[in-house]
Structure 1
């Protein structure tokens, strides 16, 4: 069953009765939060999960429950991946390709949010380089491993509404850096990457989608102080009150990871392919307020021509063509 599910559905709700024995799945960012829960829910249904993480020691400790809950032949193996270093990304991809074992699903979950200005090892603005370009190279390098019915799920964000991609100045060399503008650019890029990847691979049965997991308290917000987060929530609630809507509520981590597994293994491929999802359903295009908790996706994030242009710019930046 593909539903009905909602914002309060958990991974266990979504995967109830689902048998993933024999499936092999790659999940990035398994050292904390959504990545750990995503891996746990999948291995508990029999999937073999390859968990990628920058800090393997941290990931090993964080995934103890993943191993404890594994059932039906499910299991977890870890692989090193620093998305902020293309050398690390290429080494990870090369190791996976050399092993030659296909994947049925890739969940590009890892990311950073609103850090101070910085550059990756390759000189890219931290968020665009890590959230988009790292996954862009990884996924394209292992595309040959995707089985004929495989899916790519990019964990984006409603934060894409903060900004479209800037193909002329992706590294903020011409203007002042704003953390959430950078975040918005990178999350829009996650969605556009899914749109173009879906277009390029759907003829062979491989589909791609992107999603907003919801507002969840995880390590993603480590660059924001509690006062900043509280002020944001106060602003959101004031906006909701004027619209006569319920006040904001944080999602739990199992609720936050639910849309990833729904889009990856429960929803139909044609339903989610090339689309943007949230709260375990496909979203509609909306314009207007930027409230990070209201539903909807901006038209620029699904624009096919914009997606092609981003792909070309990304290839230029990483010096590699796919």
Structure 2
């Protein structure tokens, strides 16, 4: 049963007393960090989970604890490289052919503040991986989400760094900055949830975006020294200004995703941006520690991003 949760709540506290037997979930990014913990918590409470990962060997090695936690539920892996639309389509087709439904899809995978690069299809690496890969994948498997199900899109407090430039999302004309690109991609993750929620709420499906908090995981493995220095300076500035920024443990970081996918009231979270197992406040000033900027929840921009994304991936939904 749902309780009163906050910034230090863990996944197991969210699911204390909750039986997920008979429920089925899909979690992307299960080769490390938040994805592994999200899958473990769900499986430990009886759910069946399909975990998606680019590197299946790495995911196999990382998810031993997930399989060990399985009781009445189960855990399976599927290959998914979000930086390749061909891989995305192949993974979606495999799930559609299988036909089994999901109670929730958690789009957890992502990369952060990478040096400038391109996906297999020529998109800016962070926008292409974090947003377009998930956009195509989740929309293709949307028929598998049960009526009354949920979609959880992992955004970040880093959306404060930048809105998405709908005229140049791939940094073809804008000078590339790793944090601006990451912020734009995380804004896109939030806007995707807004429009997905609008389009699917007629089936009772509700979508929300999530800021997991600051967690020391592999997410920053591609960061340059300059990008790492920028992050350290931003954290120090927040702490000095009294914003109270504190890093979370992995179970605390995964808690909001698990809460949104399982026990949160869908009517309360639909179309919203969530943090610390609750709905975030809207804020007008930049503060990557907490709150959501209005542009990340703008319904009109969410529709425009959807149209742009369809044009880029070459499919309409």
Specify which of 298, 306, 315 is matched with residue 303 of structure 1.
298
| Structure 1 residue aligned with 2:90 | 91
Deviations 1:160-189 (A, max 9, x none): 111111111111111210001100111000
Cα distance in 2 for partners of 1:4, 1:230 equals 36
Q: Deviation of residue 98 (structure 1)? A: 0.4
| Structure 2 residue aligned with 1:291 | 287
| Structure 2 residue aligned with 1:181 | 180
Gaps of 5+ in 1: none
2:18 aligned with 1:18: yes
| Structure 2 residue aligned with 1:4 | 4
Change (3 A) 1:189 1:235: closer
Q: Size of the alignment, in residue pairs?
A: 317
Change (3 A) 1:190 1:231: closer
| Structure 1 residue aligned with 2:220 | 221
Cα distance in 1 for partners of 2:284, 2:78 equals 40
> Residue 32 of structure 2 contacts residue 59 of structure 2 at CA under 8 Å; is this kept in 1?
yes
Cα distance in 1 for partners of 2:146, 2:15 equals 21
Deviations 1:211-268 (A, max 9, x none): 100000011011235785466335433443334x44x321100000000001110110
Question: What TM-score, normalized by structure 1, do the two folds share?
Answer: 0.95
4+ long deviations beyond 4 Å: 225-228
Change (3 A) 1:24 1:239: closer
Cα distance in 1 for partners of 2:233, 2:165 equals 30
| Structure 2 residue aligned with 1:279 | 276
Cα distance in 1 for partners of 2:231, 2:123 equals 28
Question: What TM-score, normalized by structure 2, do the two folds share?
Answer: 0.97
Q: How does 1:95-174 map to 2 (within 5 A)?
A: 95-174=94-173
> Residue 236 of structure 1 contacts residue 291 of structure 1 at CA under 8 Å; is this kept in 2?
no
Q: Deviation of residue 4 (structure 1)? A: 1.1
Deviations 1:92-120 (A, max 9, x none): 00000000101101000000001111110
Q: Secondary structure at the match of 1:142?
A: helix
> Residue 92 of structure 2 contacts residue 141 of structure 2 at CA under 8 Å; is this kept in 1?
yes
Q: Deviation of residue 69 (structure 1)? A: 1.2
Cα distance in 1 for partners of 2:229, 2:174 equals 28
> Residue 178 of structure 2 contacts residue 227 of structure 2 at CA under 8 Å; is this kept in 1?
no
> Residue 114 of structure 2 contacts residue 224 of structure 2 at CA under 8 Å; is this kept in 1?
no
> Residue 275 of structure 1 contacts residue 302 of structure 1 at CA under 8 Å; is this kept in 2?
yes
Q: What RMSD, in angstroms, separates the aligned Cα atoms of the two structures?
A: 1.4
> Residue 108 of structure 1 contacts residue 135 of structure 1 at CA under 8 Å; is this kept in 2?
yes
Cα distance in 2 for partners of 1:230, 1:162 equals 15
Cα distance in 2 for partners of 1:299, 1:228 equals 26
Larger mean CA deviation between 217-226 and 269-278 belongs to 217-226
Deviations 1:8-32 (A, max 9, x none): 1100111101110001100000000
Cα distance in 1 for partners of 2:51, 2:154 equals 15
Q: Secondary structure at the match of 1:106?
A: strand
